[in-house]
Amino acid sequence: MFVYGLINSAVLALMAIGFNLTFGISGVANFAYGAIYVVSGFLTWSLINKLNIPYPLSALSTIIIIGILGALIYRFIIKRIRGLVISEVIATFGISIVILEFLRYVGFIGFKYSLPMFVSGSVEILGAYVDIQRLLIIGFVILLIIALYIFTHHTKIGRAFRGIAQEEHTSLSLGINPDWIASLSMGLGSSLGAFAAIVILPLGTITVDGGYDVLINALSVCIVGGLGSTFGIIIASVIIGYAQTLTATYLAPHWTMIVSLFAILVILVFKPSGILGHQKELEERV
Amino acid sequence: MLKVENLMVFYENALAINELSIHIEEGEIVGIIGSNSAGKTTLVNTLSGLLLDTQLKEKRKGGERITIFGKITFLGKDITDLWPDERVKMGIVLSRERHPVFVESDVEENLKIAAYITTKREMKENIGFVYKVFPSLVPLRKRKAGFLSGGEQQMLAIGMSLMAKPRLLLLDEPLLGLSPSIQVKLIESIVQIRKDANVTILICEQFARPVLPIIDRGYVLENGMLTLEGTGKELYNNPEIKAAYFGV
């Protein structure tokens, strides 16, 4: 119970990190995130099974290709409507539907679409049998968060990310080009989505509808945690993760999706900026 | 060094800057004096290129139409249509009005973010230089910029523009909202910056009294139009300036 809840939380956090990164930096709510997640799954599958490329190599090239794809989506579509929030949402959601329904049309449906585990086998922890893959997810989340922290605090591009996230015009007057940084953030966010897909998807089969679920989960974690706050994401994914696991155990598994949506509703009623709404926190203290 | 010829800027049909021609020579401190709505901020935003970005954003959302006419040359090169980040690389750096620093980051990180276009070694040197010019920032290094006072944020904002290796530093209302004693300190720092960093400086300001003594030349703007120009001394002794800006 404890272990499964923790793993579920880690899965949610992993799904949300990429979405959150793009939003936190460029302010673009990337609703194509779920589609990118699913495409990454199918792309890796195709590379392995159609082109016979070894698994680690396919995974790596997927992450890179999807990253470039994300940056291109920014360059050619979102750049033109940057700053118009509603248009950004409509455009990215449109992209999402196009990608997902196209995949469905082409025929990516069935149980054969699943990715291999990194390590198969399971171990017993606290009386529960757990796949090693699921434990790896927890490890990856921790590593990823540390890596992102180092990246945003100790590299030039990472610092530029933080600058753009806070004051776009000041950054611009210091020579940081917001469009360049935003396409990088979109690319990196998509890469993180691809990474999440490659780590998480081996636990089940790749389905087109999974894209919508991932989007809703990522969205609810980000809204509950406070958009743009990494620490908020961790807290929110733990809360929602355990809530989902408890619901699945004591109610029924098909109620879990409602948990995320319900969490969005509750947080919007009681604390609209999220548990750790970054900007708000400072305003309240000053 | 910088030459502005017949610059006109319109917001919709309102004329913000009218047929303005000014020039700045290497090593000078030039002042643009004018009251509110004289067009000072529009002028520096045009010089730094930020106005192009605003123009594009407004156009995208179908907002205000901004039109720019005229020609700006920097070091003999036409930069009228150059984007702000390109101009920063050429050496035109703007410290914006109301010191908008990165409030969530601490002071040192603000300076590091500002060092985007320089190398790591230059960054370290420049941070040292900024702390030398503004020693009062040193004890605040690890404090979040949002918790600094207005004067400290202003020093930080100028320090940040120094991180980008300016050749021409544009200061937009650096004295806004500061107490007279801090204004005096800041003015001294500006003189020191010119001497030590070998920068040409353009100050836009409405507090003429502390600024006029240190500038080499000054322009007086009114409703976007050039009404007076002269050396700092001439302007300081001009009876009209005295009446309008010193309250004598």
Is the CB of B146 less than 8 angstroms away from the CB of A174?
no
For residues B108-117, average pLDDT = 95
Asked if B74 contacts B168 with a C-beta cutoff of 8 angstroms, the reply is yes
Q: Which residues of B touch A173 (CB under 8 A)?
A: 48, 50, 84, 88, 93-96, 161
**HEC readout, A121-169:** CEEEECCEEEEHHHHHHHHHHHHHHHHHHHHHHHCHHHHHHHHHHHCHH
In this prediction the pTM is 0.89
Q: Which residues of B touch A169 (CB under 8 A)?
A: 50, 53, 96, 100
Q: Which residues of B touch A83 (CB under 8 A)?
A: 57, 60-61
- Counting residues of chain B whose pLDDT is more than 90, the rounded percentage is 92
ipTM reported for the complex, 2 dp: 0.89
Strands B200-205 and B168-172: parallel
pLDDT tens series, chain A, 286 aa: 788 899 999 999 999 999 999 988 888 889 999 999 999 999 999 999 999 999 999 999 999 999 999 999 999 999 988 888 899 999 999 999 999 999 999 888 877 888 888 878 788 877 778 888 888 999 999 999 999 999 999 999 999 999 998 889 999 999 999 999 999 999 999 999 999 999 999 988 899 999 999 999 999 999 898 877 788 899 999 999 999 999 999 988 888 888 989 999 998 888 877 887 655 444 444 3
* Chain B interface with A: residues with Cβ < 8 Å: 48, 50, 53, 57, 60-61, 83-85, 88-89, 93-96, 100-105, 109, 112-117, 144, 146-147, 160-161, 163-164
Domain boundaries, chain A: 7-208
- The pLDDT, as a whole number, for residue A184 is 95
Dihedral in degrees, nearest 10, Cα atoms A183, A186, A189, A190: -110
Q: What is the mean pLDDT of chain B?
A: 94
pLDDT (tens digit, 9 = 90+) per residue, B153-185? 999 999 999 999 999 999 999 999 899 999 999
Is the CB of A162 less than 8 angstroms away from the CB of B102?
yes
Nearest-Cα distance to chain A for B130, in Å, is 15
Residue of A159, A282, A286 with shortest CB distance to B113:
A159
Is the CB of B88 less than 8 angstroms away from the CB of A173?
yes
Nearest-Cα distance to chain A for B236, in Å, is 31
